[in-house]
């Protein structure tokens, strides 16, 4: 079983579930006057079938190792969470510094001191671009308490 099997499996299950959800929650209408549910259900049916076809082709594939780059995946995802968690409480400079510093940890050749400096520089650049340049109403500094 190869990658296509797992991809096909995930896609067919997700599309089937979405299709059933749409069918039971939105009006299908008639062909002449289609309701909000008709097109989504049609797309889900096609996707479910294609997903099953992919699944079947995947059964005969040779098994390949699925390589996940955990370190970048973890730290980039974390960085992307740091931003919405902090932007409204500590302001632009602090939030961007924390976000880019967290992101820097994703690299294998991570250098803490250099990354802090880089984070502050990027935060300064974002202040110039967004607050001075584009006049985005975001406070530069905020006290969280």
Partner 1 sequence: MIDNILLGLATAFTATNLLFCFVGVLLGTVLGVIPGIGTIVAISLLFPYTFYLPPDAGIIMLAGIYYGTAYGGSISSILLGLPGTAVNAVICTDGLAMTRSGRAGVALLLTAVGSFVGGSFGILLMMAIGPMIAAAGSQFAAPEYFSLMLLGLVAASAMVRGQALKSFIMVGLGILVGMIGTDTNSGIPRLTFGHLELFEGIGLVTVAMALFGIAEIISSISSQTGNYAPVQTKITFASMVPTRQDWKRSWGAMGRGSLIGSFFGTLPGTGGLIASFMSYLAERSVTKYPEEFGKGAVEGVVGPETANNAADQTAFIPTMSLGIPGSASMAIILGVLIMHGLTPGPKLITDHPDLFWGLIMSFWVGNILLLVLNVPMVGLWVRLVTVPYRIIFPAVIMFCCMGVYAVSGDVFHCWLVILIALFGYAARILELPAAPFILGFVLGPMMEENFRRALLTSRGNLAVFFERPVSGAIMLVTMLLIAYAVASPLLQTIRARATLDKAA
Binding site for partner 1 (CB under 8 A): 3-4, 6-7, 10-11, 15, 18, 21-22, 26-27, 30-36, 39-40, 43-44, 46-47, 50-51, 53-54, 57, 66-69, 71-73, 76-77, 79-81, 83-84, 87-88, 96, 99-101, 103-104, 106-110, 115, 118-119, 122-123, 125-126, 129-130, 134, 136, 138
Helix (H, G, I), strand (E, B) or coil at 20: helix
Residue 59 Cβ, how far from partner 1 at the closest point, in Å?
A: 14
What's the N-to-C CA distance of the chain in angstroms?
54
Token code pair at residue 95: 């939030």
Q: Which is nearer to partner 1, 59 or 107 (CB)?
A: 107
Cβ(86)–Cβ(98) below 8 Å: yes
Contact 8, 53 (CB under 8 A): yes
Could you say which DSSP state residue 113 is in? H
Give whichever of 59 and 129 is closer to partner 1, judged by the CB atom: 129
């Amino acid at each position: 079983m190869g990658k296509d099997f797992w991809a096909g499996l995930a896609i067919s299950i997700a599309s089937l579930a979405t299709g059933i959800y749409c069918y039971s929650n939105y009006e299908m209408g008639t062909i002449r006057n289609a309701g909000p549910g008709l097109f989504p259900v049609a797309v889900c049916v096609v996707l479910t079938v294609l997903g099953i076809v992919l699944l079947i082709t995947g059964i005969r594939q040779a098994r390949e190792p699925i390589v996940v780059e955990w370190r970048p995946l973890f730290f980039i995802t974390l960085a992307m969470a740091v931003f919405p968690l902090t932007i409204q409480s500590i302001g632009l400079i602090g939030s961007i510094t924390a976000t880019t510093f967290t992101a820097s940890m994703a690299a294998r050749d991570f250098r803490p001191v250099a990354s802090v400096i880089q984070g502050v520089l990027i935060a300064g650049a974002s202040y110039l671009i967004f607050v001075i340049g584009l006049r985005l109403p975001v406070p530069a500094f905020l006290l969280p308490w």
